[in-house]
Chains A and B, each alone.
Chain A
Amino acid sequence: MKELITEAKIDKLEEIRHFMDRYQEELDCPMKPQAQLDIALEEVFVNIAHYAYGEDDIGGPCRIVFDYDEETKVFSVEFTDSGMPFNPLAADDPDTSLSAEERGIGGLGIFMVKKSMDELEYRREDEKNIFVIRKVLK
């Protein structure tokens, strides 16, 4: 298990990514789930940076816990913020059958996370948002 305490600001993204990369290298993570986790990490974190603390990219505490279960091969990333209640899973999926003219720009990020991860979990606990993404490394 590895923990990173950071700020929910876009410019922290690179540091967080490198932190996860290093852990995944230790685990000898296969390339495909690594690439998918890389994107999911960005989408979820950017979502928190944009929405959790009210104003766009204003910043606020964010705790990220990375974990790997050797038995189940599940790699998980748990994001905790103390911002306003926000459940990313509550949003409607974008209609991917629409043409370029009809397509809006919203909801794509979380949709990509839904499609690429094996399990997502949101809960509100002690005035905190907790969002977990899980991916089997295979």
Chain B
Amino acid sequence: MIIREIRDNNKLTLAIKGRIDTATAPQLETAVKTKTDGVEQLEIDLKETDYISSAGLRVLLAAQKSMKKQGSMVVTNVNEVIHEIFEVTGFLDILTIQ
């Protein structure tokens, strides 16, 4: 997994390339924890991601919870496979998908 970081004032985009699975989810968790100080808008761009397992969902849930305290989080460019996973797990209601 490669995480690209794009900053624009208090907005941060983390563009993820590759799979978010048990092996790679901790990498995303660390990025969210260490890079969001002072960030009010966090965007998780999944354009180049076509796989997410429960390990990845847990990181997104934690990120959503922590961002709610300091601003907001959106998840963008969700493909069909991931959209369906969000749907069956109830994550469509938890996350803001754009």
| Most chain A CB atoms below 10 A, which of B57, B68, B89 | B89
Q: Taking chain A's interface residues, is the majority helix, strand, or loop, or is none over half, making it mixed?
A: helix
Establish whether residues B23 and A100, one from each chain, have CB atoms under 8 Å apart when the complex forms: no
A103-120 to B contact mask, C-beta < 8 Å, 1/0: 101001101100110000
Contacts of A43 in B (CB 8 A): 53-54
**Contact for A100 among B22, B51, B61, CB less than 8 A:** B61
Whole-angstrom CA separation of A99 from B57 in the bound complex: 14
A67 within 8 A of B: no
Establish whether residues B23 and A10, one from each chain, have CB atoms under 8 Å apart when the complex forms: yes
Establish whether residues A46 and B55, one from each chain, have CB atoms under 8 Å apart when the complex forms: yes
Band of interface residues on B: 20 to 34
Band of interface residues on A: 20 to 34
Contacts of B55 in A (CB 8 A): 46, 109
Establish whether residues B81 and A13, one from each chain, have CB atoms under 8 Å apart when the complex forms: no
Inter-chain residue pair count (beta carbon < 8 A): 64
Give, as a whole number of angstroms, the nearest-CB distance from B62 to chain A.
8
Interface residues of B (CB under 8 A from A): 21-23, 50-51, 53-55, 57-58, 61-62, 64-65, 68, 81, 85, 88-90, 93-95
**Contact for A13 among B21, B54, B57, CB less than 8 A:** B21
Contacts of A99 in B (CB 8 A): 93-94
Whole-angstrom CA separation of A64 from B57 in the bound complex: 26
Q: A10-B23, A100-B65, A115-B88 are in contact. Are A108 and B57 (CB under 8 A)?
A: yes
